[in-house]
Amino acid sequence: MNVLQGLRVVEGSAFVAAPLSGMTLAQMGADVIRFDGVGGGIDFHRWPCLADGTSLFWMGMNKGKRSVAVDVRRPEGQEIVTRLIVDPRPDGGILLSNFPARGWLADERLRALRDDLVYVNIIGNPDGSTAVDYTVNPSSGFAYATGPAGGAMPTNHVLPAWDIATGLTATTGLLAAERHRSRTGEGQLVTLSLADVAFAMVANLGYLAQAQVLGESRPPIGNDMYGAFGRDFATKDGRRVMVVAISLKQWEALVDATGIGPQLGAIEQALGVDLRREGDRFAARDALAAFIAPWFATRTFATVTETFDAHGVCWGPYQTFRQLVDEDWRCSPRNPVFTDLEQPGIGVVRTPGSPLHFTALGREQPRGAPRLGEHTVEILADDLGMTSSEIGALHDAGIVASPPS
Amino acid sequence: MNVLQGLRVVEGSAFVAAPLSGMTLAQMGADVIRFDGVGGGIDFHRWPCLADGTSLFWMGMNKGKRSVAVDVRRPEGQEIVTRLIVDPRPDGGILLSNFPARGWLADERLRALRDDLVYVNIIGNPDGSTAVDYTVNPSSGFAYATGPAGGAMPTNHVLPAWDIATGLTATTGLLAAERHRSRTGEGQLVTLSLADVAFAMVANLGYLAQAQVLGESRPPIGNDMYGAFGRDFATKDGRRVMVVAISLKQWEALVDATGIGPQLGAIEQALGVDLRREGDRFAARDALAAFIAPWFATRTFATVTETFDAHGVCWGPYQTFRQLVDEDWRCSPRNPVFTDLEQPGIGVVRTPGSPLHFTALGREQPRGAPRLGEHTVEILADDLGMTSSEIGALHDAGIVASPPS
């Protein structure tokens, strides 16, 4: 039993935000049916891929869902998906999509068939024009705040962070709208713009007000933390680590571990700062780093690890993706969030379940992604009550597809 | 009326993830009571700040909440907050926190007072040890995939993306657990680790499998898009723009707009690629950029804007935070998500509401943040039924505080 057991969501999606939103629900136990075209949608071969075009991305974004492959360019295909969307079960009637809400996916058309439909539609710009994470991020201001200090060239972050925030926000909206429906009987269209999520977040973090009220655009400061002491250092054996001291306790742990206590008075005097203050530690960060760097440069990563953990320093190692999967216990089957799972056509894959632990219900067992169309037959038969000859005819006509057996 | 009207959440929090989680709920209409120490918690002066220490960050993260200031180091203060947490109203009994779930905030202590409590607790590492966005991000692999191509130095992204993902995931978990409670009567502790959210997302995006199955750590490629054609260009007048062509339609729009069609055959022949393929456009990106760059270099930003919009090119301008607030209509009161609001002690601030539009209920009117302790008296009187002399005594003893009137 998982926490959203019984909830039934139809997902029409591509790329990151909407698939992630649906997967978040699936990993909490919802029955999420993703529909794709016969042969897969626009993201079916999204990178990273194997040499044969099998997408590791698609596999990652669709774990725990059921897959139905239907040609929705044809009326018969649209009819099948429509019936799934407006299915009358009380916990059904939920559509999650980043496709344009028009034509056969228009809200009014679907709502005429089930008036308490919960329909979450993710759009790009608030006026409905196209925007993707890659075009919104440059406009957010963050690219000019990321990268080396003094740099004039913008640096995109590579993580599709706005897509992620949008997908998760969509999930909160879907659950809130479903809650409202269960209490009032009222369904609704819920729209969410990627650009709105991004720019609202810039405001939420205070950077918009900093620009508006103070006239300042926060500049890039490399890997330094903003407003407190934190930065990266190189160890004797060529590893890099990030060290953070936000609270006074964290600062004292760092001072103890690195033995720089005796030097602090000189820094305070020279720069006129009080290093017990968070903002003053930020102001004095270059001087502090100059005193701390030699400590790292004369110690191996193993020694740094041991010393920092003994002192309770807040820190983390820099790792490549390979180091993360090969060396970090948090990303290994020692952590119940991860398991090694055989994924058909790919091999053994380190696979996460939901990071949420619902302690009364136990952890979700991590599940893999379906093959494209893996549940086509099951869904047509069990959910739509079709006979095997009807299902056979749909296959023959190329309106639906199942994987080669 | 807003979608979560009636839901009552007590929030004990600092920094990004938990405050953002609570604000997401508040902006959907929940009554979110954030408790802080008298004088404010550890994030009350988090940067960016005004010269007097007023935090634009704190203001951004606490919009739409009620604020109660209580000294929870003292038993009388703990008792007040405990009563708010375990309040018997059916839609109450929800605690959201990133404080350690021990001592007076231990799950078993609170659950003994209300056994259907929904308690969402955000932790750092999955074993409960300290981790923050700044230490998890370097370990995620993304720092070695961000920044200039060929760069060996890791580049942190500045956006606290893991905190954001964790806060929003916490909100999904809270709503799911509340749904479960409303159907079964069962409450529970829900735990969520920041590191788990981050590393599960690395896997969700396919990068963990790429490392594990293919032995590859995705390298940094500057501002280039991965697996398709997309990158930044400079205009004649010194602006930079990001151009993206994922779908064939987007690619054709870009080719039309920039007039590079006649050159494509030569590129295809020279490099042995088929530019109708997404992955081949990525492989040929430097050659393509070499042909496209002169088009930008000879046109002003205004001309680029006009031409691209006429052709339906998928693109976005690079902007600083100031340009975002000064020049972008999506971040202006022309967009109903934003309004200009007088925030006491700060001035007029461009303020977003929820990016979610629940169309049956209308948009949330953007609200500002409370002053610290603004609702102390109201909460003690209305929610806990205290008399004004009891409330006065608590103020006199310094157990609670209200803002200067």
- Averaged pLDDT for residues A22-48: 97
**Residue B1 reports pLDDT greater than 80:** no
In single-letter form, the type of residue at position B132 comes to V
Chain B residues whose CB is inside 8 A of the A203 CB are: 60, 331, 338, 350-352
Chain A residues whose CB is inside 8 A of the B320 CB are: 141, 144, 211, 217
User: Residue B234: what pLDDT?
Assistant: 97
> What digits encode the pLDDT tens for the residues A92-148?
999 999 999 999 999 999 999 999 999 999 999 999 999 999 999 999 999 999 999
pLDDT band at A327 (very low <50, low <70, confident <90, very high): very high
Contact between B28 and A4 using a beta-carbon 8 Å cutoff: no
Q: What is the mean pLDDT of chain A?
A: 97
Within 10 Å of residue B28's Cβ, how many Cβ atoms?
A: 29
> What digits encode the pLDDT tens for the residues A163-202?
999 999 999 999 999 999 999 999 999 999 999 999 999 9
Q: Which chain A residue lies closest to B229 (C-alpha atoms)? A: A134
Closest by Cβ to B316, choosing from A135, A155, A228: A135
Pairing of the two strands A338-343 and A314-317: unpaired
Active-site residue set of A? 163
Rounded Cα–Cα distance for residues B78 and B89 (Å): 20
Q: Which chain A residue lies closest to B165 (C-alpha atoms)? A: A165
User: Residue B175: what pLDDT?
Assistant: 98
- Cis peptide, bond prior to residue A403, ω within 30 of zero: no
CB-based contact A121:A101 (threshold 8 Å)? yes
Q: Structure pTM?
A: 0.98
User: Residue A360: what pLDDT?
Assistant: 97
Shortest Cα distance from B160 to chain A (angstroms)? 9
* Interface with A, mutate which of B125, B156, B162 (most A CBs under 10 A): B156
> What digits encode the pLDDT tens for the residues B133-166?
999 999 999 999 999 998 889 999 999 999 999 9
Shortest Cα distance from A273 to chain B (angstroms)? 16
The tokens of A167 are what? 């997908």
Angle at which helices A248-258 and A285-297 cross, to 10°: 40
Rounded Cα–Cα distance for residues A167 and A193 (Å): 10
User: Residue A395: what pLDDT?
Assistant: 98
Closest listed residue to residue A60, CA positions, set A75, A51, A47, A76: A47
User: Residue B159: what pLDDT?
Assistant: 97
**Residue B405 reports pLDDT greater than 80:** no
Rounded Cα–Cα distance for residues B277 and B292 (Å): 18
Pairing of the two strands A94-97 and A118-123: parallel
pLDDT band at A1 (very low <50, low <70, confident <90, very high): low
Rounded Cα–Cα distance for residues B32 and B9 (Å): 5
Contact between A359 and B318 using a beta-carbon 8 Å cutoff: no
**Residue A247 reports pLDDT greater than 70:** yes
CB-based contact B138:B208 (threshold 8 Å)? no
Contact between A176 and B246 using a beta-carbon 8 Å cutoff: no
Contact between B190 and A357 using a beta-carbon 8 Å cutoff: yes
Q: CA torsion sign, A31 to A37 to A38 to A44?
A: negative
Q: Which chain B residue lies closest to A328 (C-alpha atoms)? A: B139
- The ipTM is 0.98
Q: Tokens 């001592």 appear where?
A: B103
In single-letter form, the type of residue at position B224 comes to D
CB-based contact B70:B80 (threshold 8 Å)? yes
Listed in sequence order, the residues at least 6 apart from B236 whose beta carbon sits closer than 8 Å to its beta carbon are B296, B297, B298, B299, B300, B301
The tokens of A290 are what? 């100059």
Q: What is the CA radius of gyration of chain A?
A: 26
Q: Which chain A residue lies closest to B347 (C-alpha atoms)? A: A213
Sheet holding B8-12, edge to edge: A356-358, B188-193, B118-123, B94-97, B8-12, B31-36, B66-70, B400-401
Task: Please name every residue paired with A243 in a beta bridge, in sequence order, or none if there are none.
Answer: A231, A315
Shortest Cα distance from B352 to chain A (angstroms)? 5
**Residue A405 reports pLDDT greater than 90:** no
Closest by Cβ to B218, choosing from A143, A146, A321: A321
Q: Which of B31, B163, B280, B383 is catalytic?
A: B163
Chain B residues whose CB is inside 8 A of the A193 CB are: 337, 355
Rounded Cα–Cα distance for residues A200 and B355 (Å): 7
Contact between A247 and B147 using a beta-carbon 8 Å cutoff: no
CB-based contact A23:A64 (threshold 8 Å)? yes
Contact between B173 and A356 using a beta-carbon 8 Å cutoff: yes
- Distance from chain centroid for Cα B376: 27
Closest by Cβ to A159, choosing from B157, B314, B315: B157
Q: Tokens 């005819």 appear where?
A: A393
Closest by Cβ to A321, choosing from B125, B211, B328: B211
Chain B residues whose CB is inside 8 A of the A359 CB are: 188-191
Closest listed residue to residue B338, CA positions, set A197, A269, A105: A197
User: Residue B364: what pLDDT?
Assistant: 85
Element at B356 (helix H, strand E): strand B356-358
Chain A residues whose CB is inside 8 A of the B207 CB are: 48, 321
Chain A residues whose CB is inside 8 A of the B172 CB are: 24, 28, 168, 171-172, 175, 356
Closest listed residue to residue A278, CA positions, set B67, B104, B47: B47
User: Residue A284: what pLDDT?
Assistant: 96
Instruction: State yes or no: is B91 an active-site residue.
Output: no
Contact between A59 and B209 using a beta-carbon 8 Å cutoff: yes
Strand, helix or coil for residue B400? strand
**Residue A152 reports pLDDT greater than 90:** no
Shortest Cα distance from B190 to chain A (angstroms)? 5
Listed in sequence order, the residues at least 6 apart from B25 whose beta carbon sits closer than 8 Å to its beta carbon are B4, B7, B9, B32, B96, B171, B174
In single-letter form, the type of residue at position A35 comes to F
Contact between A246 and B42 using a beta-carbon 8 Å cutoff: yes
Q: Which chain B residue lies closest to A350 (C-alpha atoms)? A: B209
Contact between A316 and B131 using a beta-carbon 8 Å cutoff: yes
Q: Which chain A residue lies closest to B171 (C-alpha atoms)? A: A172
Chain A residues whose CB is inside 8 A of the B197 CB are: 355
**Dihedral through CA B387, CA B392, CA B394, CA B399, nearest 10?**
130
The tokens of B315 are what? 């693109």
Sheet holding A94-97, edge to edge: A400-401, A66-70, A31-36, A8-12, A94-97, A118-123, A188-193, B356-358
Closest by Cβ to A139, choosing from B125, B279, B324: B324
Shortest Cα distance from A168 to chain B (angstroms)? 6
Contact between A47 and B279 using a beta-carbon 8 Å cutoff: yes
Listed in sequence order, the residues at least 6 apart from B32 whose beta carbon sits closer than 8 Å to its beta carbon are B9, B10, B11, B22, B23, B25, B26, B64, B65, B66, B96
Rounded Cα–Cα distance for residues A187 and A236 (Å): 61
Contact between B141 and A324 using a beta-carbon 8 Å cutoff: yes
Contact between A48 and B214 using a beta-carbon 8 Å cutoff: yes
Rounded Cα–Cα distance for residues A115 and A221 (Å): 52
> What digits encode the pLDDT tens for the residues A194-230?
999 999 999 999 999 999 999 999 999 999 999 999 9
**Residue A248 reports pLDDT greater than 70:** yes
Task: Kindly provide the residue ranges of all beta strands, DSSP E only, lying in B101-258, ordered along the sequence.
Answer: 118-123, 188-193, 229-234, 240-245
Closest by Cβ to B190, choosing from A130, A135, A358: A358
Rounded Cα–Cα distance for residues B278 and B268 (Å): 13
Q: What is the mean pLDDT of chain B?
A: 97
Contact between A157 and B157 using a beta-carbon 8 Å cutoff: yes
